[in-house]
Amino acid sequence: MAHTYMVFEFPNEEKAQQARHKLEGWKQAFRLDKKLQVKFDRGEEATTEAAATEHESEHADEPKKGAKSKSGSAKSAKATKSKKSDESGDEEAADSGPVKLLVRLYFSNHEKITEQQWFDRIPADDLFKAAHPHVIHEKDAAFDDTLKQFDTLE
């Protein structure tokens, strides 16, 4: 099975999240579970900042969990984390720099028409037009680098 990558460069996190949401909707609607995969490349700075924020929020929640019962702490911890992620998500979206969205299309050889339809559909959408799409096929020189980059991202 051949796979191909599409790389989109968005100006900020908010636009990239909107594009991801659109792709996830298509993924569910057309049942493209393993055939369409999406990952973000936020750069080294954003990754280390997100890890530091995550680490701090974990330690802040620990004393609260010990003081409550198990069922109450699980619910309150989820609510606290969602509130914090909403607040920090809004701040990060406004302050974040360029974000790359990597999309892997993984169709078998007999699905060439379907694959071509997705190559035409995704970049033609309004969210993706301004993101300067790059299509990287297996035959391209940059394919190995993109494959390694995609595999290392979460």
CATH architecture classification, 2-42+96-152: 2-Layer Sandwich (3.30)
Quick one: tokens of 55? 């680490």
**DSSP 8-state secondary structure symbol assigned to residue 12:** S
**52 vs 125, residue with greater confidence:** 125
- Please work out, in degrees rounded to the nearest 5, the angle formed at the alpha carbon of residue 134 by the alpha carbons of 129 and 136: 145
Domain residue limits, the chain:
2-42+96-152, 46-95
Given this model, what pLDDT does residue 68 score? 47
Given this model, what pLDDT does residue 154 score? 78
Quick one: tokens of 9? 């460069």
Q: What is the pLDDT of residues 72-93, one digit of tens each?
A: 544 444 444 444 445 555 554 4
> Please, which residues bridge with residue 99 across strands?
10
Q: What is the pLDDT of residues 104-133, one digit of tens each?
A: 999 999 999 999 999 999 999 999 998 989
Confidence of residue 1 (pLDDT cuts 50, 70, 90): low
Cα–Cα distance, 18 to 69 (Å, whole number): 37
Taking the whole predicted model, whether its pTM rises above 0.75 is answered as no
